[in-house]
Structure 1
Amino acid sequence: MNTQILPAVAAAIFNEKGEILLQKRKDVNQWCIISGHVEFGETIEQALLREIEEETNSAANIIRFIGVYSSPASQTYTYHDRTVQYVTSYFEAKLTEEIAEDFSNNETQELKFFSTDQLPADLALINPNWLTDAMNKAESVFIR
């Protein structure tokens, strides 16, 4: 089987109530933070803002860099034709405009803000520290 290592980005987006935005992805039918691939010719910051725009139809600003996640245990995905280990640059971002009610597109089935202590059971594979790292406002960067 074909194996690859690819760069990716992910965003923790909180609202004014401290709830986190999750996307119900159409490809895996699970909830996940906004994330995606870095495309050739773009920076990780450009990739993050593009992914947020594509998956929410809303613009955002980057607040801070949370860390980099490369652990094979949480960053390896097996597809029908390949296995990919992602090296994910993880940021906190803030939306600069409201998400349209009932927004969906070819990637996004649904978007919803969740209380951090009431997350849906059907979460896609994410590093186990994704939420505590995002909620930790210390001046540290996490390498996981």
Structure 2
Amino acid sequence: MRPAAIGIVLDRSQERVLIVKRRDIPGWVLPGGGIDPGETAEQAVVREILEETGYRVRVDRIAAHYTPINQIASPTTVFVCGLDSGAPALSTETTALGFYPLSGLPQPFFTLHQIWVEEAMAHPSTVIERPIREVTYGRVLLTLVQHPLLVCRYFLHRLCKT
């Protein structure tokens, strides 16, 4: 899988984070996506956030580099970003977006992104480097068993995009 860039976009108070509700699965996530050929991770996160939310951001710091332990996750760089300009705008990938308190994110919020937010906020002066242990074949199978319609919907959406 191609490398990804994810943004933790904080509002001016540093107490609320920008999240989006995906169109392909009914859940909330941090904005971000794949890094295009010839693009840096920093350029990708700025582009993805603008495309998904309508906001222009600046990268304040690299929070983490996460590496996959299998073929179902992507190498991911997580950035903490600040808001520069723009207005909320939905995209073809999103059905809702907004700033929510770090202590009260709407559910369902993607568990891995929750962990990444918590790690980034707990270590503001450190670049975290660790494997993505939370994404395993067993967890994917468990999700398929518990939520078969959501998993099918996600994969059908991905197939239609290619």
Identify whether the pair has TM-score above 0.5, normalized to the shorter chain: yes
Conserved 8 A contact 1:23-1:34: yes
Residues 30-70 of structure 1 show CA distances to partners (whole Å, capped at 9, x for unaligned) of 10011200011111111111101111122111000001122
Q: 1:58 aligns with which of 55, 74, 87?
A: 55
Q: Which runs of 5+ in 1 are unaligned?
A: 77-82
* Cα distance between partner residues in 2 of 1:114 and 1:15: 9
Partner amino acid, structure 1, of 2:109 = L
In the alignment, structure 1 residue 135 sits paired with structure 2 residue 135? no
Conserved 8 A contact 1:20-1:113: yes
**Bigger RCO of structures 1 and 2 (CA < 8 A, at least 6 apart):** 1
Report the alpha carbon displacement of residue 137 of structure 1 after superposing the two structures with TM: 5.2
Alignment of 1:1-144 (within 5 A): 5-17=1-13, 18-72=15-69, 84-100=72-88, 103-126=89-112, 129-136=115-122, 138-144=124-130
The structure 1 segments of at least 4 consecutive aligned residues displaced by more than 6 Å after TM superposition are none
Partner amino acid, structure 1, of 2:66 = Y
Partner amino acid, structure 2, of 1:10 = I
* Cα distance between partner residues in 2 of 1:29 and 1:105: 15
The size of the alignment, in residue pairs, is 129
Tell me which structure has the larger Cα radius of gyration. Answer: 2
Partner amino acid, structure 1, of 2:108 = D
Considering only aligned residues, what root-mean-square deviation do their CA atoms show, in Å?
A: 1.9
Report the alpha carbon displacement of residue 125 of structure 1 after superposing the two structures with TM: 4.3
More helix by share: 2
Q: CA distance change for structure 1 residues 84 and 40 in 2, over 3 Å: closer, same or farther?
A: farther
Partner amino acid, structure 2, of 1:23 = V
Conserved 8 A contact 2:30-2:113: no
Conserved 8 A contact 1:30-1:124: yes
Conserved 8 A contact 2:27-2:107: no
Conserved 8 A contact 1:6-1:84: no
Partner amino acid, structure 1, of 2:38 = G
What's the secondary structure of 1:66's corresponding residue? strand
Question: Comparing 131-140 with 42-51, which one deviates more in the overlay?
Answer: 131-140
Q: Which runs of 5+ in 2 are unaligned?
A: 131-162
* Cα distance between partner residues in 1 of 2:84 and 2:113: 27
* Cα distance between partner residues in 2 of 1:53 and 1:6: 20
